[in-house]
Amino acid sequence: MDGRDVLVTEVALRDGSHAIAHSYTVDQVVRVTKAFDEAKVPYIEVSHGDGLGGSSLQYGLSTTNEFDLIEAAVNVCESSKIAVLLLPGIGTVKELKIAANLGAKMARIATHVTEADVSKQHISTAKELGLETVGFLMMSHMAPVEKLVEQARLMESYGADVVYMVDSAGALLPHEVKSRIAALRQSLSIEIGFHAHNNLSLAMANTLIAIEEGATRIDGSVRCLGAGAGNTQTEVLVGVLERLGINSGIDFYKIMDLAEDIVAPILQTPQEITKGSLILGYAGVYSSFLLHANRAAKKWNVDARDILVELGKQRVVGGQEDMIQEIACQIANKKLSVF
């Protein structure tokens, strides 16, 4: 743990990409990364919101090539390490190798909570490339504890150094986080991580419970710059951990300053729990769906909440973004048939 009690990965330059429609510029990434590095943030994740190769019509086109962003971030880091996210089926081993050649030091291989088996090739390749390798089990609220443990063990068997339980929808309640992290800690010999979303205003509470139950890797986003209502707010987390006597190694004043002075101006609107993000957590829907649902609602003249609730009922997961337009169309047609 390098003298730290908890290692934080800052995700604003990846998860936060969803909140600004994947419009990061090289200049923004350089300024933010340099400030993170000066604040001694251990890991900084940089890529398209949906991971390497995510720039597309389905997931959202990036205004700047993500490899340019990754390279720029690597070049200004003195102590921080750059991490990348890869979802098998969106990103490939080819993109992973490019990121490694550019200087990325950590690969986070993300799958749906029941589909860890598709990560074997990518985890193995990341290890061969000398990258610290993380298994990332998304939408963890959609599987019972036993299934979560089974899938985490698969990632461990493939060579993952860490396995994360990911609350992609911000839907988990504190007692659910407690039981899941405890089960993972009892079942794995590697480190456990936790990635929260704040759609039900529970990101901080859930994160602290995860730490209590043995999670040593935690994700945060400064100014809550992430999908939906954002993630556990990094600058607040650092302060809370200090109050608890838990060492993150991050400079509290510097992380506050960069959140206020550098990241806040990038936000197109303040990150808060709006009716849209609240419904994400309530319905258990992937947080990155919010922008897509809002656009579909405008196009079809329907309520985005109705779209998100229906997505939850149909248990739609990341990678099925095309369903958002289809469901919006169905809701619009039902409205017309009433008249």
What's the confidence (pLDDT) of residue 202?
A: 98
Residue 3 has pLDDT above 80, yes or no: no
To 10 degrees, the CA torsion angle through 137, 140, 143, 146? 70
Instruction: Report the alpha-carbon distance of residue 71 to residue 67 in Å, rounded.
Output: 6
Mean of the pLDDT values across residues 194-206?
Answer: 98
Q: Give yes or no: 18 in active site.
A: yes
What's the confidence (pLDDT) of residue 30?
A: 98
Q: Which CATH class is domain 288-338?
A: mainly alpha
Residue 336 has pLDDT above 70, yes or no: yes
The confidence band for 197, taking pLDDT boundaries of 50, 70 and 90, is: very high
What's the confidence (pLDDT) of residue 143?
A: 96
Q: What percent of the chain has pLDDT over 70?
A: 98
The confidence band for 115, taking pLDDT boundaries of 50, 70 and 90, is: very high
Mean per-residue pLDDT of the chain: 95
What digits encode the pLDDT tens for the residues 82-93?
A: 999 999 999 999
What's the confidence (pLDDT) of residue 339?
A: 54
Alpha helices, H only, the chain: 16-19, 26-38, 66-76, 93-102, 120-128, 145-158, 174-187, 203-212, 234-244, 252-258, 275-283, 289-300, 304-313, 322-338
H or E stretch at 302: none
Q: Which CATH class is domain 7-265?
A: alpha beta
Residue 1 has pLDDT above 50, yes or no: no
What's the confidence (pLDDT) of residue 194?
A: 98
Instruction: Report the alpha-carbon distance of residue 281 to residue 238 in Å, rounded.
Output: 24
| 3-state DSSP assignment of residue 218 | strand
Q: How far is CA 333 from CA 156, 198, 310, in A?
A: 47, 33, 14
Catalytic residue among 18, 48, 122, 197: 18
Rounded to 5 degrees, φ, ψ at 196 are -110, 160
Residue 59 has pLDDT above 90, yes or no: no
Domain residue ranges in the chain: 7-265, 288-338
What's the confidence (pLDDT) of residue 4?
A: 61
204-208, 244-248, 251-255, 330-334: which has the minimum mean pLDDT?
330-334
The reported pTM is 0.93
To 10 degrees, the CA torsion angle through 269, 273, 274, 275? 160
What digits encode the pLDDT tens for the residues 297-306?
A: 999 999 999 9
The confidence band for 335, taking pLDDT boundaries of 50, 70 and 90, is: confident
What's the confidence (pLDDT) of residue 320?
A: 82
Residue 71 has pLDDT above 60, yes or no: yes
What digits encode the pLDDT tens for the residues 4-53?
A: 699 999 999 999 999 999 999 999 999 999 999 999 999 999 999 999 99
What digits encode the pLDDT tens for the residues 132-166?
A: 999 999 999 999 999 999 999 999 999 999 999 99
Residue 2 has pLDDT above 60, yes or no: no
Contact (CB, 8 A) for 77 and 51: no
